[in-house]
A and B are shown apart, each in its own frame.
Chain A
Amino acid sequence: MTKYAAPGENGSPATYRTRYDHYIGGEYSPPAKGQYFENPTPVTGQAFTEIARGTAEDVERALDAAHGAAPSWGRTSPADRANILNRIADRMEANLEALAVAESWENGKPVRETLAADIPLAIDHFRYFAGALRAQEGGISQLDEDTVAYHFHEPLGVVAQIIPWNFPILMATWKLAPALAAGNAVVLKPAEQTPASIHVWMDLIGDLLPPGVVNIVNGFGVEAGKPLASSPRVAKVAFTGETTTGRLIMQYASENIIPVTLELGGKSPNVFFSDVAAANDDFYDKALEGFAMFALNQGEVCTCPSRALVQSGIYDQFMGDAVKRVEAIVQGHPLDTDTMIGAQASNDQLEKILSYLDIGKAEGAKVLVGGERNDLGGELSGGYYVQPTIFEGDNKMRVFQEEIFGPVVSVARFDDFDDAIKIANDTLYGLGAGVWSRDANTAYRAGRAIQAGRVWTNCYHQYPAHAAFGGYKQSGIGRENHRMMLDHYQQTKNLLVSYSQSKLGFF
């Protein structure tokens, strides 16, 4: 095992400054109102840096910088933009450990996840969009012998991006990489719970981008997010979060008649058909890991497999093995590489999860394991830790219908295929789902029948670039993680050209 020294301690690969201002026009500048807020680490609950508290004045300055940079950035060649994205990826790769430790300290997630998933995925994401841009083609439609429609991709201009706190660097990357590849300038607002790690990233790569192409305004949603999302000076808003704010952002966008992409979460079913237990082999072991994936990132994933549906015939055996698997999850200091589950990202998130544990119990869901806050002692006593929890109950219960965003799975049994699909689709959301079966036909039919944008089939929680990610139903609009997100950041310019010498003859 390795335990990394915390940022600020001797020997830590990561360093945070004691204060972060806004990053506007390629340099740091203080907030107009001179106010800052403390940023605690969820590992111990102690503040480790302070962050500029942005307001509308700061947003306007950032928009000025972005509008100044957008025209020339939008005219750079695809090769130049792709090269810059590749250089960003290279710089991140050379500093992977520093970014991983910084991210773990910021968010509370185990460093083994940031080392193996968050940061490598972010690196690959920049490379993917560098490649996607180089390979992107416009279109030519031959309308008749002398008339041609040319379709060009053009950047939108200046776009607003509001980033969630569950994967601060990776989710920023999911939005930045396609926006930059497409030739846009960006004003980005990190979540107020995790505002700092993006600045560690910016300290690493800032010199690679022309000033004003990426601007970071920190602050609270109501003070900085709202003036950004409602600004008539942005051409698009991208948001990941919850439904009320998603609707509000759509309302602002309707006033400006601009597009939005939204990722608003889910209540993802993870469906286990009987044949997964046909043998006690590697596949069965993989399926049990797939069940335990609800604890990945402390459950703070929009696609957390937080509803497990298990076929009746194997229910007792499977759940017996699943409980043992979950009991073996090691909770501890997030910077210890043996730790499998760390801290929830904030105190209010912890309180929300505890409130769900209460209502789950009140509704009669049975706790098979966990069900309480976890006090890990010592310096971690002030941190925000929850035991991995399995509820057994009915799909109508609220713990089956709402995204708890904690390490909590609610389990129900189903009788047959139709029953499984009915329960799986009995939700307001449709972001992710899992299907587990050794029978290819069952797995295929289930995957097609479940109303969700991503159906992991005999796997879960993989997020490679080049696989589209986005929601059905109330889970949002748009597909990230794929070339198609380039389209969400581009205008289509059509030149309709006549090469004929002859008039139409109307006048």
Chain B
Amino acid sequence: MIADRPPETAGERVAVTPAAADLIRRLRERHGPLMFHQSGGCCDGSSPMCFPAGEFRTGDSDVLLGDLAIDELPETVPVWMSASQFQLWRHTHLTIDVVPGRGAGFSLEAPEGVRFLIRSRLL
């Protein structure tokens, strides 16, 4: 999938914490292959939204940040962001974490009483 990324994103841009990886494994069992799309804007904006793979249709207006390789999963989990938002986030590395909470939006983890959360550091 590297070829789909803009050249400057060849280095790692996105990772997961062990707790988030555990949750992803559980969601994979229930919902099948998964994807993330990083949100922006109001309310639960800035949250990484987790969907069944293909549920959210990405297009030319999106950038693939990376494919998460999660232990025990047969496939990687792609992480997307809109290209316009990527222009503003490109100098930061993102780590998907999970915290107790109850996010709105259609992200798969909300009924579990937890919420995926982005932690950022400078690249």
Chain A: residues with CB nearer than 8 A to chain B? Answer: 37, 53, 164-166, 191-193, 220-223, 225-226, 229, 240-248, 251, 263-266, 300, 302, 346-349, 351-352, 355-356, 358-359, 362-363, 396, 398, 401-405, 428-429, 474-475
Contact = CB atoms under 8 A, between A and B. Distances in A.
Contacts of B37: 244
Chain B interface size band reads 35 or more
Contacts of B121: 359, 362
Interface stretch (B3-11, B17-25, B63-71, B108-116): B108-116
Nearest to A190: B104
B104 to A, nearest CB: 5
A348 B100 contact: yes
Nearest to A384: B101
Nearest to A189: B104
Contacts of A245: 39, 44, 49, 104-106
Nearest to B120: A359
A346 B99 CA distance: 11
6 A-B pairs with the lowest CB-CB distances in the bound complex, closest first: A348-B101, A265-B42, A265-B41, A244-B39, A242-B45, A348-B115
Nearest to B52: A222
Contacts of B82: 243
Contacts of B92: 359, 398
A195 B96 CA distance: 27
A362 B122 contact: yes
A405 B84 CA distance: 20
B88 A401 contact: yes
Contacts of B111: 37, 53, 220, 222-223
23 contacts: A164-B42, A165-B104, A192-B102, A192-B103, A192-B104, A193-B103, A220-B102, A220-B110, A226-B106, A240-B42, A242-B39, A242-B42, A244-B49, A245-B49, A245-B105, A300-B43, A346-B102, A349-B101, A351-B99, A402-B45, A403-B42, A403-B45, A474-B41
A265 B108 CA distance: 22
A429 B99 contact: no
